[in-house]
Amino acid sequence: MSAFTASFKERADAALADPILKIAVERTAGTAEAKRGIAVAAFPNFEAARTRAAAIKDHVIAHLGAYLEQFEAQAIAAGAKVHWASTADEACRIVIDICKATGARSVARSKSMLGEEIGLPHALAEAGIGRVETDLAEHIIQLADERPSHIIWPAMHKTREQVSALFKAKHRLPHQEETIAAMAESARRELRTQMLGADVGISGANFLIADTGAVCTVTNEGNAELSLVPPRVHIVTAGIEKIVPSMPHAIHMLRMLARSATGAALTQYTTFYTGPKRAGDRDGPEEMHIVLVDNGRTKMREEGLAEMLRCIRCGACMNHCVVFRQIGGHAYGGTYPGPMGAVLTPVLDGLPQSRDLAHACTLNGKCQEVCPVRIPLPTLLKGWREKSWREGLEPTSMRWGLGIWAWVATRPRLYRLGTGFAVRAMQMLGKRGWIGALPLAGGWTRHRDMPKPAPQTFMAQYRKAQRK
């Protein structure tokens, strides 16, 4: 089923009906949850570190313009070219123009959620430019012709058994085994040759360092380094909120990122790229371009979503989300899944298209509890619900149902009458203590029984007892 044609509910139902998906999501998210727990427990005063991480981001977001200008000046001084894009289309156009000016036929891409956000894979295909995804998980979904389902593990929805079958079918030298080592070896064989032939390397950025103009990427496979150093041109696409003032700030954020994402103390490969190859350097790209992308971010700051700009894309919120754990990332339908995706997708796709995501949450608060930069995700989701209500996007049944209920509930005497009647009516529906099918509450009784209420409400019983 296409992620775009169906509704959230249909996508979620399809996901729930897929037992393999459930196994795959549980394996990865369950492991991440356990490992994060251990890493956080071993971190001296993690709570204070979270507060500091949030403060660093808040400070930058409050002074975004100044830090971006500083970054631009430093990056230019280091020899890079800096471009500004206010929309996704503009960002793609800038990248394609650079590729064309280079005469590129193929690009090696290191995983970047911003690239997905702006639709870069699609734009490259339209421009006739070949693309190699060099991150292992991105390679898997490129072979399967799918989209990422998680921001850290794009192929989290696939089991290793499924990946093995895919490699057997699609790799030029098919491998035979289902062991992880054999699969990794097969991917390495396949990717290395393609990577080394690329004309342009494209990456995202985990952090932009304002005072040096450096761009930081982290990967667990070293694929960023392999994709960005050999080609003649390196293009970075980065959201403007990725900025941090200086290296010590970046280090603090890196510590929070790795632990929150995978429970590791560090990501295997962390690289800072400052400008292109200099005279005397033995390797490195001849040109470095940095495309700074807004795509709704400035608007978020103005519209009460500034806290969301703290997000460092660690994925902890989705790994710990009961809803995500049941339906996986594709059900969310956007680039970003889970709690952070439910907040971001309405910014990117519009609220009318994605209002149901804000409701796909029990408001249990676990995401906020684990977010390393303390984003109040449930509050932001409730903000979307309110906006949706104000703009009349909520279904009529909901508006009327709640409206009538609230009208009665603000009239206590009428309310007592109504509740008294309701519990008496429910008496007639139950067998023993339970109701197996309750009119208007089919959503409840399809899957579970409803306890039958007492014959009289508390208020009625209490009043009677008082009178005696």
Partner 1 sequence: MTQEVALFVTCLVDLMRPRIGFAAIRALEAAGCDVVVPEGQTCCGQPALNSGDRAHAVALAKQTIAALEPYDAVVVPSGSCAGTIRCHYPEIFAGDAAWLPRAQAVADKTWEIMAYLDQVRGWKPQGVTVEAKATYHDSCSGLRELGIKAQPRRLLRGIDGLRFTPMEGEETCCGFGGTFCVKYPAISNAIVGEKADAIDATGADLLLAGDLGCLMNMAGKLHRKGSKVRAYHAIELIAGMGDGPAIGEEG
223 close to 135: Cβ distance less than 8 angstroms? yes
Longest dimension (CA), the chain: 98
Contact letters for partner 1, residues 398-427 (x by CB under 8 A)? xx--xx-xx--xx-x--x---x--xx----
The least distance separating partner 1 from the CB of residue 296, rounded to whole angstroms, comes to 21
364 binds partner 1, rule: CB under 8 A: yes
285 binds ligand SF4, rule: CB under 6 A: no
Tell me whether residue 27 or residue 399 sits nearer to partner 1 (CB atom): 399
Site for ligand SF4 in 331-390 (CB under 6 A): 340, 371-373, 375
What is the C-alpha to C-alpha distance for residues 348 and 146, in angstroms, rounded to an integer?
Answer: 20
Tell me whether residue 264 or residue 351 sits nearer to partner 1 (CB atom): 351
The partner in contact with residue 222, picked from ligand SF4, partner 1, none with C-beta cut-offs of 5 to 8 angstroms by kind, is none
Q: Where are the alpha helices (DSSP H) in 78-196?
A: 88-102, 113-117, 120-126, 136-144, 160-170, 180-196
The least distance separating partner 1 from the CB of residue 195, rounded to whole angstroms, comes to 40
The partner in contact with residue 350, picked from partner 1, ligand SF4, none with C-beta cut-offs of 5 to 8 angstroms by kind, is none
What is the C-alpha to C-alpha distance for residues 188 and 192, in angstroms, rounded to an integer?
Answer: 6
The partner in contact with residue 373, picked from ligand SF4, partner 1, none with C-beta cut-offs of 5 to 8 angstroms by kind, is ligand SF4
Q: Which of 16, 73, 229, 348 binds partner 1 (CB under 8 A)?
A: 16
Q: Which of 95, 300, 316, 426 binds ligand SF4 (CB under 6 A)?
A: 316
Beta strands in 204-309 (DSSP E): 207-209, 214-219, 233-239, 243-244, 269-273, 287-293
DSSP code for 376 = -
DSSP 355-373: HHHHHS-----HHHHH-TT
The pair of structure tokens assigned to 302 is: 């103005």
The least distance separating partner 1 from the CB of residue 310, rounded to whole angstroms, comes to 19
What is the C-alpha to C-alpha distance for residues 108 and 197, in angstroms, rounded to an integer?
Answer: 9
Which residue in this structure is represented by tokens 């039958």? 452
The one-letter code for the residue type at 198 is: A
How far CA 377 is from CA of 64, 264, 372, 413, 438, in Å, comes to 22, 24, 12, 38, 33
Q: Which of 4, 272, 400, 462 binds partner 1 (CB under 8 A)?
A: 462
305 close to 292: Cβ distance less than 8 angstroms? no
Site for ligand SF4 in 425-464 (CB under 6 A): none
What is the C-alpha to C-alpha distance for residues 37 and 427, in angstroms, rounded to an integer?
Answer: 47
Contact letters for partner 1, residues 421-460 (x by CB under 8 A)? -xx--------xxx------xxxx-xxxxxxxxx-xxxx-
Please give the residue ranges that form the binding site for ligand SF4 (CB under 6 A).
260, 311-317, 340, 371-373, 375
Please give the residue ranges that form the binding site for partner 1 (CB under 8 A).
9, 12-13, 16, 322-323, 326-327, 359-366, 368-369, 382, 384-390, 394, 398-399, 402-403, 405-406, 409-410, 412, 415, 419, 422-423, 432-434, 441-444, 446-454, 456-459, 461-462
